[in-house]
Structure 1
């Protein structure tokens, strides 16, 4: 068997939330007093690291928990309108059918995550949600420990450079998806173990991967 445990990110990885983010980000910026995002800023931000993005937007670090809490509340009101990417449901079905344990680590709340995942929410054996901006490494370690799977048998899959950094800190592999928030070039610069350019490739490549020691 390939990786025994796959830890997914949600926004930008399984759910197509970027259009929702663009629609609401400037209202959030006005509320919390950071720089608004112009259309011409988007490409540059997609090529930047999370810290560079925060610096560009002039977001004080102490405000991050309050901003995150507010965004989660906004998403609660709109979770049903944020779709999964095409092919996500069949990909999750395939992995689960092959006996791979699925987990979710997200900055969103568990309730919002389950609503977005819909009928596939039950495929996930573990949820560790409401992660802080730079708090995923601790959650990755916790999920691995609860699963009783070796870090070497675990891969995290996400769409941001901070997710790669968190996986490195937790001692697990990382698979980067190119259809989310960060640009492919920015992700590849962090040298993830795998890069997925299509949703269908996730199951194909994970199931074809060499066996990992448990």
Structure 2
């Protein structure tokens, strides 16, 4: 039986895709990278992060600096973001069942707390954990498991990207992949997640069968 639920933040709990495209394009104009056009979005959703980076011509060595700059710009716009419709209800119902979930994200803790507070969702989460490894999320998940003293089978991850699936599979942690986030359903399915859900209602039903 699952005792711990780890949620990803951007794309899973919060609809931030449009903002991140806007912020990327601002930095792309500054650094002369390829811009993201509306007609590019469907294709980019079907590519892994490394494939997107290659297609957009972003030098890999510059990614850490761009991530830091992006988080700062994100903070300036955070009050324009909205929780994915239905996800506040999912978290509230899990909390009502005595299940206090946690968030593990490559976004900053301050950004996450600001949005949770503005949506009155802070009390529903046990911890907010900022992942330090953009391409190695399994390191952060392993650290959380060690801190909690739990085994892979006693926790489950909820995320929207192929890299989430790959990170969980390295550790044997079950994962629920949600299709409304950054990666396309086809890309998610290519990673063979344990569960795939197409709506917050379906997610809640799945999680309640596991806890």
TM range (shorter): over 0.9
How many residues align? The count is 209
Q: Say whether the 8 Å CA contact 1:126–1:143 is kept in structure 2.
A: no
1:96 is aligned to 2:98:
no
Q: What residue number does 2:121 align with? A: 120
TM-score, L = length of structure 1 = 0.91
**Displacement of 1:130 after TM fit?**
4.9
Which deviates further from its counterpart, 27-36 or 182-191? 27-36
Superposed CA offset, 1:127-159 (max 9, x none): 221533213111111122222221111111111
Q: Report the TM-score when normalising by structure 2.
A: 0.93
In 2, the alpha carbon distance for the partners of 1:174 and 1:130 equals 17
Whole-angstrom distance in 1 between the partners of 2:49 and 2:141: 18
* Residue equivalent to 2:24: 25
What's 1:51 paired with?
A: 50
Would you say 1:173 and 2:208 are equivalent positions?
A: no
How big is the alpha-carbon RMSD for the aligned residues of Structure 1 and Structure 2? 1.5
Q: Matched residues in 2 for 1:96 and 1:38: separation? A: 39
Q: Name stretches of at least 5 consecutive residues in structure 2 with no aligned partner.
A: none
Using the TM superposition, give the Cα deviation of residue 38 of structure 1 relative to its aligned residue in structure 2, in angstroms: 1.9
In the alignment, structure 1 segments of 5+ residues that lack a partner are none
Q: How do 1:29-178 residues align onto structure 2 when only pairs under 5 Å count?
A: 29-118=28-117, 119-178=120-179
Moved over 6 A (4+): none
Secondary structure of the 2:158 match is strand
Task: Single out whichever of 66-75 and 124-133 deviates more from structure 2.
Answer: 124-133
SS at match of 1:175: strand
